[in-house]
C-alpha cells in the first residue's frame, strides 16, 4: 500500500518536473542574486512565466516580501509552499458518486484529452467494481467513435454509439435507456469540441443536457471540463466559456507532464474556484490522478 502511494507520488513528481524546474530554478537564484528585491522580482517573473497569472504571482510575492526574515532558502520554500497550498486547497473537492446511474458529461475543445480521460476514468471506476457505460457523443469526428470504442475494450465497458454524423442527443438518449436496462453505476458521455462553431457547439451541449435531464432528473450530475495545461491562460478562457453555457461542476487538467506552464492550475483555482477533480500526467491508463492539493504542492516545490 505504502509502496503504491509512493510510486504514485513519484510519478506525479516526474509529471510536474518541467514546471518545478521553471519555478524552483529561480527560487534557488533568490539567494544567490544581488539585492533581495531583485531576487523577489525574479521569482515573480518565474511564476508568471509558468502561467500562475499576474494577480496570483503578485499576491504570492507580496506575501513573501512581508514574511521573509533573514536569508533562509528553506523558509522561503516553505512560505512559497504555504501560499500555493492555500490557493489550491480551495478547489480540492474529489468527485463523489452520489446517484445511480451517475451521469458524467465530459466537455472541452478538440485535442485537450477528453476521450483519453474518459478511458482512464472508465478503467479507474471499473477497477473499483463499478459498472461503467460509455456514450460516444462526439459524432462529429469519425475517429472519435473508434477511439472511444478502443478505450471501452481496454476497460471492458460497453460503448453506446451511432453512426458518424449522428445526433449526439440521440446517443445520450440511447445511453440513458441502456444504463437503466443494464443497471449501470456510471455513464460517461464523450462530446464534440470543435470551437470554430462555438455557438452551435454550446447549443448542442445544452440539448444533450436537456435530453439527459428528461430521462433522469438531475442528470448530467457532473459537467466535467477537460483543460490542457500546456495551453496556459487560454485554458482559463475556455473554462469561462463552457461554464457560462453549461455550468461546469468539475475540472480535469491534462498534459501537466508535457509543460512548464503547470502554474496555470493556480490561475484556474484562483479565478474560477471550480473544483479540480483530476489531473493528467501522461498518456497511459494510470496517468490520471485524483487531485490532492498537498501532494501537488509537495511535488511542485
Q: From 25-33, 72-80, 107-115, 169-177, give the range in contact with ligand GDP by CB under 6 A.
A: 107-115
End-to-end CA distance of the chain: 25
How many residues make contact with ligand GDP (CB under 6 A)?
18
What distances in angstroms separate CA 230 from CA 113, 250, 264, 297, one per listed residue? 12, 19, 9, 18
What track of x and - describes contact with ligand GDP for positions 28 through 67 (by CB under 6 A)?
Answer: ----------------------------------------
Cα separation, 283 vs 117, whole angstroms: 9
Cα separation, 228 vs 143, whole angstroms: 20
Among 75, 90, 93, 110, binds ligand GDP (CB under 6 A): 110
Q: From 51-59, 115-123, 126-134, 158-166, give the range in contact with Mg ion by CB under 5 A.
A: 115-123
Residue 287 is a binding residue for ligand GDP (CB under 6 A): yes
Among 73, 94, 111, 247, binds ligand GDP (CB under 6 A): 111
Residue 144 is a binding residue for Mg ion (CB under 5 A): yes
Residue 124 is a binding residue for ligand GDP (CB under 6 A): no
Residue 283 is a binding residue for ligand GDP (CB under 6 A): yes
How many C-beta neighbours within 10 Å does residue 243 have? Answer: 17
Looking only at residues 193 through 232 of this chain, which bind ligand GDP when binding is defined by CB under 6 A? 193
Residue 108 is a binding residue for ligand GDP (CB under 6 A): yes
Collect all residues with Cβ–Cβ distance below 8 Å to 86 and sequence separation of at least 6.
none
Residue 123 is a binding residue for ligand GDP (CB under 6 A): no
Collect all residues with Cβ–Cβ distance below 8 Å to 106 and sequence separation of at least 6.
114, 117, 118, 188, 189, 190, 191, 224, 226
Nearest distance from C-beta of residue 115 to ligand GDP, angstroms:
4
Residue of minimal CB distance from Mg ion? 115
Hey, what's the cell of 212? 439527459
Hey, what's the cell of 229? 495545461
Give the DSSP H or E segment for 87: helix 73-88
Nearest distance from C-beta of residue 249 to ligand GDP, angstroms:
18
Hey, what's the cell of 265? 492550475
Residue of minimal CB distance from ligand GDP? 280
Residue 243 is a binding residue for ligand GDP (CB under 6 A): no
Amino acid at each position: 500500500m505504502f509502496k503504491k502511494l509512493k510510486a504514485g507520488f513519484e510519478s506525479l513528481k516526474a509529471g510536474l518536473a518541467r514546471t518545478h524546474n521553471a519555478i524552483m530554478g529561480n527560487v534557488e537564484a533568490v539567494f544567490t542574486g544581488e539585492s533581495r528585491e531583485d531576487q523577489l522580482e525574479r521569482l515573480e517573473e518565474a511564476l508568471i512565466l509558468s502561467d500562475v497569472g499576474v494577480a496570483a504571482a503578485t499576491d504570492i510575492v507580496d506575501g513573501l516580501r512581508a514574511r521573509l526574515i533573514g536569508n533562509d532558502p528553506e523558509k522561503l520554500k516553505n512560505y512559497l509552499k504555504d501560499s500555493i497550498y492555500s490557493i489550491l486547497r480551495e478547489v480540492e473537492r474529489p468527485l463523489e458518486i452520489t446517484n445511480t446511474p451517475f451521469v458524467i458529461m465530459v466537455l472541452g475543445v478538440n485535442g485537450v484529452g477528453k476521450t483519453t480521460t474518459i478511458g482512464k476514468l472508465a478503467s479507474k471506476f471499473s477497477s473499483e467494481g463499478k459498472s461503467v457505460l460509455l456514450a460516444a457523443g462526439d459524432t462529429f469526428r469519425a475517429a472519435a467513435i473508434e477511439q472511444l470504442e478502443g478505450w471501452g475494450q481496454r476497460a471492458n465497458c460497453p460503448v453506446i454509439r451511432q453512426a458518424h454524423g449522428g445526433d449526439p442527443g440521440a446517443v445520450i438518449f440511447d445511453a440513458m435507456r441502456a444504463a437503466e436496462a443494464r443497471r449501470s453505476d456510471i455513464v460517461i458521455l464523450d462530446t464534440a469540441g470543435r470551437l470554430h462553431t462555438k455557438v452551435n457547439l454550446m447549443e448542442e451541449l445544452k440539448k444533450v443536457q436537456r435530453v439527459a435531464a428528461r430521462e433522469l432528473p438531475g442528470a448530467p450530475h457532473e459537467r466535467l471540463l477537460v483543460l490542457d495545461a500546456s495551453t496556459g491562460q487560454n485554458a482559463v478562457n475556455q473554462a469561462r466559456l463552457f461554464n457560462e453555457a453549461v455550468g461546469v461542476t468539475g475540472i480535469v487538467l491534462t498534459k501537466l507532464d508535457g509543460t512548464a506552464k503547470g502554474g496555470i492550475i493556480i490561475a484556474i483555482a484562483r479565478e474560477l474556484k471550480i473544483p479540480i477533480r483530476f489531473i493528467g500526467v501522461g498518456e497511459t491508463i494510470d496517468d490520471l490522478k485524483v487531485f490532492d492539493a498537498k501532494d501537488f504542492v509537495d511535488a511542485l516545490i
